[in-house]
Amino acid sequence: MTLQFGLIVPQGWRMDLVGITDPVAAYESMTRVAQVAEEVGFHSIWLFDHFHTVPTPTQEPTFECWTSTAALARDTKRVRIGQMVTCNGYRNPALLAKMASTVDVLSHGRLDFGIGAGWYQHEYEAYGYDYPDAPTRLRYLREAVQVIREMWTSEEAVFDGKYYQVRGAINQPKGVQQPHIPLVIGGKGEQVTLKLVAQYADACNISSQDNAELKRKLEVLKQHCVAIGRDYNEIRRTVFYNTSIAATDDAALQQAEQAFGWLVADGRLRECGLVGTPATIRQRLREIEEAGAQEVILHLQDAAQLDSVRRFAECIHSLS
């Protein structure tokens, strides 16, 4: 098996730092998870880009994505670091490109830049952002990724769009990686998002799909590539799954229902996640790879306790 694996670092958004009352201790818990993930062989670590908790806003700490990305870039040495994914609506794309370029240098060239159109209406409105409809948010995203690529590749970036205008912006240093930082577009919309991946991205991220649907989504992406004359194999195919691993399949499902039941209304946690014993998960991973994925990014609700991180690492090492 040639799959690589990434891990979501707990940062509070999904109530995954509950019980750690000291904010310094909470951040240090994040760092420990990132460092253990690096030690046990994960290829990448990732952060969500959100400001307060789900499924209900609470007073629990939620660490901001990009400042945390920069800190983890200095707290780790090998593992790649990315966002799952940056919400385009929260920051100007020229500023985002500049931030990413700085973090790529801080990490010595280990950044994957993830971006998406955004969806969490309550959070938008709580922080004073306009929340346009989905087609409009996608139009913003289309222009934003063009701005970002322009900032990464031109000496003086120029872009004159409906939503964004850049007039000779200088971005130095541009980062370490060549020809530029890898751009990951997250989302599974077939008519717009996957087409944007084909046009502009170096990688896609598709979340929480059963095997048949994942295969179909990737086929849609392939057809978009054919339509514009791009090599489908140039695009790295990453997938995201909520994950629960336990000694029995029933115990893993019970854990998953407690952690992720609010996300999957039709009860398809097994089909759309990584849920089960190590043997069950290994078989599921083989099927995911056969469907066309190249990297699996997982969220473990109890990652801050570290045991599940090590247990999953043992599970995937036995695949090789």
**How does pLDDT run across 227-244, given as a tens digit for each residue?**
999 999 999 999 999 999
Residue whose tokens read 């990297």: 295
- The pLDDT of residue 93: 98
Stretch 152-179: mean pLDDT, rounded?
A: 97
* Cβ atoms of 303 and 11 closer than 8 Å: no
Stretch 110-136: mean pLDDT, rounded?
A: 97
Report the chain's mean pLDDT, rounded to a whole number. 95
Q: Reply yes or no on whether the pLDDT at 137 is more than 70.
A: yes
> What does the alpha-carbon distance between residue 123 and residue 170 come to, in Å, rounded to a whole number?
31
Q: Reply yes or no on whether the pLDDT at 52 is more than 70.
A: yes
- What is the sign, positive or negative, of the torsion defined by CA atoms of 80, 185, 291, 262? positive
Question: What does the CA dihedral 148, 151, 153, 156 come to, rounded to 10 degrees?
Answer: 150
CATH entry 3.30.390.50 includes domain 4-317: no
> What does the alpha-carbon distance between residue 102 and residue 223 come to, in Å, rounded to a whole number?
35
Count the Cβ atoms, other than its own, within 10 Å of residue 304: 22
pLDDT over 70 for what percent of the chain? 98
pTM above 0.75, yes or no: yes
